[in-house]
Amino acid sequence: MMKGNISMQTLILFILVMVVIVVMVLVFTGKVALFTQTTTTCESQGGGCVKSMDDCPYRIANFKCSDSEKDVCCMPEV
């Protein structure tokens, strides 16, 4: 009975260690950056891209625009 308990604990520990290793590999190889690139665009944050700061009646935000011709992120007031 004790032998089964030890192997179950070992299995759970092994799974936890493997999850930690996978997360560390993703972080250190830059694969997590794919997720942050899609969530930090101007459009995904509720803003709109304009050509110049003069075209923005709202506040200017520091998010990237997906349109290469429009490089100023204009965020409406909340």
- 44-77 tens-digit pLDDT: 888 999 998 899 998 888 888 888 888 899 998 7
Which of 11-15, 39-43, 62-66, 71-75 is least confident? 39-43
Q: How many domains does the chain have?
A: 1
Long-range contacts of 45-52 (CB under 8 A, 24+ apart): 45/73, 45/75, 46/75, 46/76, 47/73, 47/74, 47/75, 47/76, 48/73, 48/74, 49/73, 49/74, 50/74
Taking the model in full, what pTM does it have? 0.48
- In residues, how long is the chain? 78
Predicted pLDDT at 32: 63
Which domain, by its residues, includes 9? 2-75
Q: Any bridge partners for residue 61, and if so which?
A: 73
Predicted pLDDT at 34: 58
